[in-house]
Amino acid sequence: MKLLVLPGDGIGPEITEATLTVLEAASRLFKLDLSFEEQKVGFAALKAHGTTMPDGLLGRVAESDGVILGPLDQLAYPPREKGGVNVSAVFRVKLDLYANIRPARTRPGLGKVKEPMDLVIVRECTEGFYADRNMYQGSGEFMPTPDVAMSIRKVTAHACERIARRAFEISLKRKKHVTAVHKANVLRMTEGLFLDKVREVAAEFRGVKLEEVIIDAMTAHLVRTPGRFDVVLATNMYGDILSDLASELSGSLGLAGSVLAGDALCCAQAQHGSAPDIAGQDKANPTSLILSAAMLLEWLAERKKAKACGKAAEAISAAVDKVLADPKKRTADLGGKLGTRAFAAAVAAAL
């Protein structure tokens, strides 16, 4: 199986190297026959090719069985006409990677909440408040005058319906409880359409309980009683914000895995950003990307009937738990002393 590896910016190259250490060990142990093709994106590509997203990249993606994408520092990119392309956004829209699946759970001795938390956020990621991807041509964000800035939010029945279906399908393998997060008290049409579609899908999943919670209240509930949530279904921006909150509550932004999953392709991408403040110091926690890669293997196991990939995914997740259980084997964000490389070596050894 061929994986395309795009290390990205900031801590991206370090956490990608760490992830490959674990994947190579898993490939040997479980006979996965994984091969990796590395390509530059982000600032490395800008320097080499004059654009953060080199021509032909989507073609390379299409030739691969899955993608490992490091974090990208879009905020620091030059404007589009000077080569600054938001690779993540292009992937999500052009490759139709519409479902961002972001689990977060506490582990013994780790976590900033009073009760155990084990939830998965299912986030729509091709439209919503992200105006840069909402128009056929041009940007959905514009300034009619120098002191007025506007942006267009897009919510479609199609996108709401399919992300809701994903959430309910995932809930069948869990506690059969979906919490739909919204702000329909204010945004009656856009959030109303989202809720209508969620309710329609819910009617097909009779055994699954649907709860509807307003986004602002959701943040308080998540901090106060995180244990009551199972699958959290959200539009793009709410899902993004809630997942940072959930992963930090689980112990650190560096802990939670994440995949962008379409119907035909899956991309492992760490939940957090490129953390330029700690880049190049061997300090980053690579767990998020390692667990994202495990989720990609799980996806390959299901969609491509690659049973061994499923076994490897379980083993990687168990190995991460085993290493994290020992406070001496944690990275600095969790109060430990291990560097990125040493942590990855410990996970590979624990497989």
Q: Which residues are catalytic?
A: 130, 183, 216, 240, 244
CA angle 38, 39, 44 (to 5 degrees): 125
Taking the complex as a whole, the smallest distance from the CB of residue 283 to ligand ATP amounts, in Å, to: 7
Q: Which amino acid is at 188?
A: R
3-state per-residue secondary structure call for 22-44: HHHHHHHHHCCCCEEEECCCCHH
Taking the complex as a whole, the smallest distance from the CB of residue 169 to ligand ATP amounts, in Å, to: 29
Q: Which residue is nearest to ligand ATP (CB)?
A: 273
SS3 breakdown of the chain: % helix, strand, coil, rounded to 5? 45, 20, 35
Taking the complex as a whole, the smallest distance from the CB of residue 256 to ligand ATP amounts, in Å, to: 10
Of the candidates 32, 38, 43, 51, the one whose C-alpha atom is nearest the C-alpha of residue 8 is 43
**Cβ distance to ligand ATP smaller for residue 10 or 128:** 10
Cross-strand bridge partners of residue 179: 211, 232
Instruction: Return d(Cα 335, Cα 327) in angstroms, integer.
Output: 8
Positive or negative, the CA dihedral 306, 178, 121, 21 is: negative
**Cβ distance to ligand ATP smaller for residue 103 or 273:** 273
Taking the complex as a whole, the smallest distance from the CB of residue 333 to ligand ATP amounts, in Å, to: 4
Residue with tokens 């994202």: 292
**Cβ distance to ligand ATP smaller for residue 276 or 310:** 276
* Site residues (vs ligand ATP, CB under 6 A): 10-11, 71, 73, 75, 253-254, 272-278, 284-285, 288, 333
Residue with tokens 């674990």: 22
**Cβ distance to ligand ATP smaller for residue 166 or 272:** 272
Instruction: Return d(Cα 345, Cα 349) in angstroms, integer.
Output: 6
Taking the complex as a whole, the smallest distance from the CB of residue 10 to ligand ATP amounts, in Å, to: 6
Taking the complex as a whole, the smallest distance from the CB of residue 331 to ligand ATP amounts, in Å, to: 6
Do residues 80 and 94 lie in contact, with contact meaning Cβ atoms separated by under 8 Å?
Answer: no
**Cβ distance to ligand ATP smaller for residue 5 or 180:** 5
String of DSSP letters for 284-336:
---HHHHHHHHHHHHHHHHHS--HHHHHHHHHHHHHHHHHHTSGGG-BGGGT-
**Cβ distance to ligand ATP smaller for residue 76 or 150:** 76
